[in-house]
Structure 1
Amino acid sequence: MSSSSFSQIRSQALNLEKQTESLLSKYSQFQTSSSSSVESSSEETRIEQQLQEILAKRDTIIGKLNRISQSSGEELTTSKLQQISRHREILQDHKRALNRITTQLQDERNRNNLLFSVQSDISNAKRRNDAMDADAYILEESQRVDNANNLADRLLQGALNTRDELAHQRQYLSNAQSKILSSLQNVPGLNVLISKINTRRKRDTLILASVIAICILLLFFV
């Protein structure tokens, strides 16, 4: 292979190095956006694949340049050999940069995934606690309702017992009154005696009222 072939292939290597630097710059920008995401975007994946493909091409091109240096004998100068070595060093630097950025992105996403998992566990635990609190509250309210119903049942039963007792007493008084009336009808002269007692009581009341009235008049006129 001639020196012109070496120059053409090296020109391709230089062009790919510029493309690699541009793509690495774009790829590194995902480090800031990865802090708010848990998965890589399609654009990030596409750039990473392009970088892998270009690095592989550059490795192949450096291999071609190395073969030219071995087959051309004295046609290649020391400077060109140094150029090949320099291309190889830049390729290794770009590979390390790609690996470093990829590792940082993955580490950041792992932290985000862990944080998301912790937050999810906390949220699930909180929901479970809320559900348990709600169940406990419902159970407590149910017990209160049962206690209120039991109290109402006892009060209602007491009212029913009181009603029955009053009905029994009324029946007892009614029977007693009937017996008294029956006795009054069966004893001769008892009604006349009671009537005389009532008449005398009325007369005594009238006399007492008259005496009181006279005393009051005397108080005014004396």
Structure 2
Amino acid sequence: MSNIPAKPDEDEQRTEAQLQDILERRSALISQLSRLLDSEPTASALKSTNLARHKEVLQQHRRELDKLKSNIGHQRDRANLLSNVRNDINAYRAQNPEQAEADYMLDERSRIDNSHNMTDTVLTQAYAINEQFGIQRETLTSINRRIVGAASQVPGINSLIGRIGNKKRRDGIIMGSFIAFCFLVFMYFW
């Protein structure tokens, strides 16, 4: 309902008239049913209950229609008020260009201040992350020192680590040679 027209259009008026007509016809029909029920010598409780229920539903529908019309009226008043305020502001700015320029400059300054605040926040986060990286680096260095110290104290670990390193190097050379061979064969047959 944000784009509600300032005045009810033809469709809205026609729909409202149709709803009022339907409610009036239902009311007349319920009145006829009530007269028929009153004219019966022995009215059953079921018929009386059904008639009462129809009257309740009709009243509920009337209240809902009134509530809907009221809501639309409030939305229309609000939209008119907002458009009137915007028109007044635009008219004031048109009559006072110096004030409009000053307002624009104040708005620009607030946008710049907001971007500076955002930049400060990002920088603060970056410094905190950098500090965490430093702490992690120190922790990893300490762990590495302990592992090297423990490895040097146990005999035979250095030679085992050396053999593992030599095997990884050899496997890397073999894989590199195989990939180069495959690439050359691919280039040759392409």
TM (norm. structure 1) is 0.42
Query: Highest CA radius of gyration, 1 or 2?
Result: 1
